[in-house]
Amino acid sequence: MSKPNRTYKIPLVWQLYGYAYIEASTLEEAVAHALGPDCPLPEGNYLDDSVEVDKEGLLAMNDEEIPSMNSIPSKAAIEALRARYIPGSRVELTEPMDDPYATLKPGDQATVTGVDCHGDILCAWDCGSTLKLIPGVDEFKFLGSGGDPVDG
């Protein structure tokens, strides 16, 4: 018998890129006002893939433990991955994937197309596959931007 569904309150955070128009006598004063509590929210657009769960808020609001919450990378960790695995850089699979449907084999190479909001590396494999790499699960090496191996 399955558990009945219930409603959960999940606190989410997004990044917004926009502008606030502030009247002030100096730029420093305008920036201080823009960062203060009296500044209205700017008009703008949400940044793609910027949504994340407020982990502390989630744990404070709900009475259940979520073991997988420790595996959700922080915003800083995702930004570090995005800084390293920029679109156009190259990677190479070094060990077979633990996926019964994966046809990729060690030595296969790919061009990075991005890093998603979960920290997975999106790839366009030379063989035509678009299977992503999961850091900490899949074994691969970073080849840099020109195909030559890079330390690290």
Residue 78 main-chain phi, psi, to 5 deg: -65, -40
User: Which value, to the nearest 10 degrees, does the dihedral of the CA atoms of residues 92, 149, 121, 52 take?
Assistant: 150
Per-position DSSP letters for 104-136, written without gaps between them: --TT-EEEEEEE-TTSPEEEEETTS--PPB-BT
The tens digit of pLDDT for each residue in 83-135 reads 999 999 999 999 999 888 889 999 999 999 999 888 899 999 999 999 999 88
pTM of the model: 0.54
Report pLDDT for 68: 58
**Would you kindly state where each structural domain of the chain is located, as residue ranges?**
12-72, 78-144
The tens digit of pLDDT for each residue in 129-151 reads 999 998 888 999 999 875 455 44
CATH number of 78-144: 2.30.30.40
Q: Quick check: 45 pLDDT over 50?
A: yes
